[in-house]
Structure 1
Amino acid sequence: MSYNPFSLAGKTILITGASSGIGRATAIECSKLGATLIITARNEERLNETFTQLEGKGHQKIIADLTINDDIDRLANVIPPLDGLVNNAGIIKTLPIQFINENDFVNILRTNTLAPVFLTQRICKKKKYNRNASFVFISSIGGVFVTTPGNAMYGMSKNAINSFMKFTALEFAPKGIRCNSVNPGTVESPLINKGTLSQEDREKNIAKYPLKRYGQPQDVAFGIIYLLSDASAWVTGASLIIDGGLAIL
């Protein structure tokens, strides 16, 4: 049986932050479903690793730092019209409020909030989208649905992108563009595996999740694929929570 409402065949999709974690998993799974991928990130070596794992032909890789306006403009200029955009690139730094400093906060906002805002803006101004395109913003349950100590900077940056998604959904609907966000809980990825938690603290944190594990990048990738596919043709302005049940507590 060949019927597959989640097929991405014939779709051209741009994924930012595709060098690891959720971005890499999403790119690989999208390629398996027939999409033509444009993947971008700052780290050339890791982006190459993702590129070699893509199935099919016609994919492109573009090195870009989306905190730099010239790189955003260059990316928007060279890409073809898109059927899908996954604004995934992001960073995190955990600090109690009394230790927040301007440099860290501005860096997080530039990467997590301003970069996807201005990339989305440029793509639309340059009309680099096809009718019925789908834009997916990777937010987080952190600061949006669940609040934890030390997560203020990251949570605020992701709360802002969730809000921006709703405005794009409203304003871009006449263009035929759907806009949604995916809000993951903690996912096993290089973003979190930096030794900030002891093994004991990690186990305590995992125990809070009803499903008793952190997510895998593929868990989130499949939700993103749903929003990119025609299976979600009547879904816009929605926040999809993929968190092992944490937000219901």
Structure 2
Amino acid sequence: MERLKYLISELKKTADDDWWLSEVSSIIEEDDDFFLDDLKVYGKALEVLDEGSWREFAKKAAGYIKHDSRRRGKQQFINILNEVLAYEYLVSTGRSSVQFVPESAEGGSKNKPKSPDIQFLENGEKSFCEVKTIGVSEEELDRVEADEIYSATVYYSLSDGFLNKLSSDITYAASQIPTNSSNNLIYVIVNFDDFVGLYYKEYEKQIRHHLSQAHESVQVYLRIGLRGRFSIQHMPRNA
């Protein structure tokens, strides 16, 4: 947790009144197990970064900490934080020379995609990883704001909206990767509306079928939730 604590202290130098940083600092100081377990996931991953990647990540994080959304809070910053989970995964699966790619000064639109997030070596070949995060749906946010009880039937299966969002993110991520290699990876952190995971098996079937039909040429790894209790790996047919 030392790097996470250091990161928080550094970010507070430019955003001392930030509500998220204040909450995280309180959780750490009070040793609140309920929320601390989530922070430990990031803390563990941060310790895996090599020095160069650690410096690059800290610089990138500083550029996003002030971003706020009425409905999704610090989601943009969390998206950046999620990149360390992909880095940790690449190291844990034996990829070598894993490094964050400096953000390009230009790019970030559909017409001019930005650079990928991470580069690594696999079997001596330079390869890339792009990281995406899919949060809960707008419909789920509406349900939370309405503070009403809904039938569990709303969670039985994934909607076309979710699958379309997944496809859109994968397609855009693939466009950000400058080489065509089966070693390239699109790493997606998925947060289902059904956060308990009651209907995960049905979701897994839908996702595997969808990826096999719509994205047969790309390698995709889906981490389900922050703690990654479930995962789905999709390999390209030519791998």
Shorter-chain TM-score: what band? 0.3 to 0.5
Between structure 1 and structure 2, the one with the greater Rg is 2
TM-score (norm 2): 0.36
* More contact order relative to length (CA 8 Å, sep ≥ 6): 1
Task: Compute the TM-score of the two structures, normalised by the length of structure 1.
Answer: 0.35
